[in-house]
């Protein structure tokens, strides 16, 4: 897995976490369970996000944001048995020969990576 893909995946994981911590029901349950957190976990996560974004090229980051706002779910997905993990369409086999590079699914445009 290339460093760029890894950073994009980390960004996506961070975005899931931010989404969870913005969810009031989730925060209430976390508190009930007994998890103690920083005063403002969302702000803390946003700072981490800023740091991570600095490691990603502006072009890739813009693409990431565009994909997220388009689909509102995930921007980077694994290729599973030759199919895009986002839209489930067949990924051309010639792309799997360049696994180290950053690719987008030709059908949905999401970033794809091979496990």
Partner 1 sequence: MNLYNLLKPECINLSLSARKKKDVLLELMGCIRKDKDSDLLVSTLLKREELGSTGIGKGVAIPHGRSLVADKLEVVVGRSDAGVEFNAIDKQPVHLFFLIVAPPQDPGNQYLITLGRVAVICQELLKSKLYEKPQTPEEFIALVKEIEDGL
Residue 32, classified by CB atoms within 10 Å of its CB into exposed (0-12), middle (13-18) or buried (19+), is exposed
| Choices 12-20, 57-65, 87-95, 96-104 (CB under 8 A): range interacting with partner 1 | 12-20
Measured from the Cβ of residue 8, the count of other Cβ atoms closer than 10 Å reads 23
Query: How far, in Å, CA of 68 to CA of 51, rounded?
Result: 19
Do the Cβ atoms of 9 and 107 come closer than 8 Å? no
Encoded one letter per residue, x for contact with partner 1 by CB under 8 A and - for no contact, window 59-78 reads --------------xx-xxx
Residues of this chain, 82-101, that bind partner 1 according to CB under 8 A? 85
Which residues contact partner 1 (rule: CB under 8 A)?
Answer: 1, 6, 9-10, 12-14, 16-17, 20-21, 25-26, 29-30, 32-38, 41, 44-45, 48, 73-74, 76-78, 85, 115
């Amino acid at each position: 897995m290339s460093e760029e893909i890894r950073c994009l995946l980390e960004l996506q994981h961070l975005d899931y976490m931010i989404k969870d911590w913005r969810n009031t029901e989730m925060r209430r349950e976390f508190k009930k369970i007994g998890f103690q957190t920083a005063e403002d976990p969302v702000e803390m996560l946003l700072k981490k996000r800023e740091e991570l974004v600095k490691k990603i090229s502006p072009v890739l980051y813009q693409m990431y944001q565009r994909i997220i706002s388009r689909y509102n779910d995930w921007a980077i997905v694994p290729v599973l048995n030759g199919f895009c993990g986002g839209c489930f369409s067949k990924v051309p086999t010639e792309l799997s020969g360049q696994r180290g590079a950053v690719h987008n699914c030709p059908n949905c445009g999401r970033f794809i990576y091979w496990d």
